[in-house]
Structure 1
């Protein structure tokens, strides 16, 4: 089968299409014929060696998947061949390939009425946003600041926070403000022209999807009992208000998110759809920081 692999760490050009054996199943797993995957910012960091939890190359990138189950291993009772599923995997064999193996308990049925390409845009971004708000214990009436609000995680966090009854403030380029208002954001700050620390205060939760010096700056706008949640490394250090969220596979969370999508209460925005044969170009696009929502990759 075809897969996008890399033999070395580096820029997008290290990504190449190769022929590798089709994966074999272990107990509790299913084999999925890939319909689509998506690009997450962490993919680019792993490719370049900026984060290293996949170890040394060669490996195949990708965490998100959607597709039809082609084979079911022993011990799997919740799915059968032909079922359409979506989910998230954390393996060195990734999802940039024609077939993917995944633990059945990391998958959920695709939301009714949602095409498979759109379903593949959801898992990592939606799980990260959902679990961040759970970690923050965000409550109705609280004020939440979402940095990079128009990105993959950010635009879903805006919607989840709105559903919880929160007052949503977002930082984003001005061109994305109308998009975010339509998703439920009440206040928007153009970070290219305005310092958010001078524009707002008394925030109950800051969700940092930028990292770096945004950490200490976010602490300055928190209320006395505010919470700072980040998905990236920042300069906050040991502050007791700090917590790190790493989106993790979760069937129960995916099922809840899927029901919200089915009901039309949450939508995922796809910036563009590209082929896995264009993975290197997709990474270049991702690294511009100008992606609204998600980049989706479909097979060759």
Structure 2
């Protein structure tokens, strides 16, 4: 079988399409015939050698890919609730690599994919959706609240906008002007240009900030903290960038909370709940571009511009 591997860290040319050994599922794993993998910012971070959090775990050679969708080919003896041929989506074992024709992964990391999307669409969902879902949970987002989604046009942000709307929140998104119409179509009540010189004065009375931007900006973080109501919540996806003393002091005066997203959630249950929202038409899946495995370098180059609307997908094989 074929898979994308790296044997050294560096630019896009270190990714090689290779023949590798076919995986064999353990007792608690499923063997998945992969159709599509999401292309996520963490993929190029790993390819480049990782950040302070990831570096200790990166041992070459490595496969890339955090999430994807496919069909169950075989199951370990302890697996319950699935059958051969089920169409599933999810995340692999840590650093398991979904840029591959087959993967073996823990069954608890996958769920039946939404029945109204393609494999390419389903493959784009899990990693970003789980972070957005986790952000809504940590932020205790509810009906009638004013929720600010920073980086609303991206893979995590656009789903967060839709999840917050599904919970009945009033949603304000920050984005570049080219994404204003796109975010309004997804349900955003207001969209603010993050480059606007009056950015700070446009934000007020916010119950929850969810910072989903792939770009860290301490000044923007401070401005959004100041805009929180008393008792407000601030949730960030930017794990490598701890909250500063100045930021925490602002929240302390507001009796607010600041949290980073975490991976300690029931993945299968969360993905099942997300699938229901998609099937009910409450959440749309936005795929900006699909690349074949042979053009994985181009997919990373585009993603690294940090101006992608929705998600980029690596198509592992064509859907029948």
Question: TM-score higher than 0.5 here?
Answer: yes
The answer to whether the 8 Å contact 1:38/1:294 transfers is yes
Could you list the per-position Cα deviations for residues 56-83 of structure 1 after superposition, in whole angstroms to 9, with x for gaps in the alignment?
A: 3211111111111111111012112111
Partner secondary structure for residue 215 of structure 1: helix
What is the Cα deviation at residue 235 of structure 1?
5.6
Aligned to 2:306: 289
Following superposition of structure 1 onto structure 2, how do residues 52-63 of structure 1 map, counting pairs within 5 Å? Answer: 52=54, 54-63=57-66
What is the Cα deviation at residue 246 of structure 1?
3.3
Partner secondary structure for residue 79 of structure 2: coil
Decide whether aligned partners of structure 1 residues 30 and 90 sit closer, same or farther in structure 2, where only a CA change above 3 A counts.
Answer: closer
The answer to whether the 8 Å contact 1:216/1:236 transfers is no
Q: Determine the C-alpha separation between the residues in 1 that align with 2:85 and 2:268.
A: 19
The answer to whether the 8 Å contact 2:49/2:58 transfers is no
Q: CA RMSD for the aligned pairs?
A: 1.6
Could you list the per-position Cα deviations for residues 9-35 of structure 1 after superposition, in whole angstroms to 9, with x for gaps in the alignment?
A: 112221111111011111110100101
Following superposition of structure 1 onto structure 2, how do residues 13-162 of structure 1 map, counting pairs within 5 Å? Answer: 13-51=13-51, 52=54, 54-162=57-165
Could you list the per-position Cα deviations for residues 247-290 of structure 1 after superposition, in whole angstroms to 9, with x for gaps in the alignment?
A: 56611111111011111111110001111211111111001011
Q: Determine the C-alpha separation between the residues in 1 that align with 2:197 and 2:50.
A: 29
The answer to whether the 8 Å contact 2:4/2:100 transfers is yes
Decide whether aligned partners of structure 1 residues 49 and 216 sit closer, same or farther in structure 2, where only a CA change above 3 A counts.
Answer: farther
Would you identify which runs of 4 or more consecutive aligned residues in structure 1 move more than 3 Å? 246-249
Decide whether aligned partners of structure 1 residues 78 and 130 sit closer, same or farther in structure 2, where only a CA change above 3 A counts.
Answer: same
TM-score normalised over the length of structure 2? 0.89
Partner secondary structure for residue 232 of structure 2: strand
Q: Determine the C-alpha separation between the residues in 1 that align with 2:42 and 2:262.
A: 11
1:246 and 2:262 correspond: yes
Following superposition of structure 1 onto structure 2, how do residues 162-177 of structure 1 map, counting pairs within 5 Å? Answer: 162-177=165-180
Deviates more, 1:16-25 or 1:53-62: 53-62
The answer to whether the 8 Å contact 1:136/1:227 transfers is yes
Q: Determine the C-alpha separation between the residues in 2 that align with 1:235 and 1:72.
A: 40
The answer to whether the 8 Å contact 1:212/1:234 transfers is no
Q: Determine the C-alpha separation between the residues in 2 that align with 1:89 and 1:244.
A: 22
TM-score normalised over the length of structure 1? 0.95
Partner secondary structure for residue 126 of structure 1: helix
- The runs of 5 or more residues in structure 1 that have no matched partner are none
Aligned length: 300
The answer to whether the 8 Å contact 1:167/1:186 transfers is yes
What is the Cα deviation at residue 195 of structure 1?
4.5
Following superposition of structure 1 onto structure 2, how do residues 243-282 of structure 1 map, counting pairs within 5 Å? Answer: 243-247=259-263, 250-282=267-299
1:236 and 2:252 correspond: no
Could you list the per-position Cα deviations for residues 141-189 of structure 1 after superposition, in whole angstroms to 9, with x for gaps in the alignment?
A: 1111111101001000000101111111111011110110011111111
Q: Determine the C-alpha separation between the residues in 2 that align with 1:196 and 1:242.
A: 21
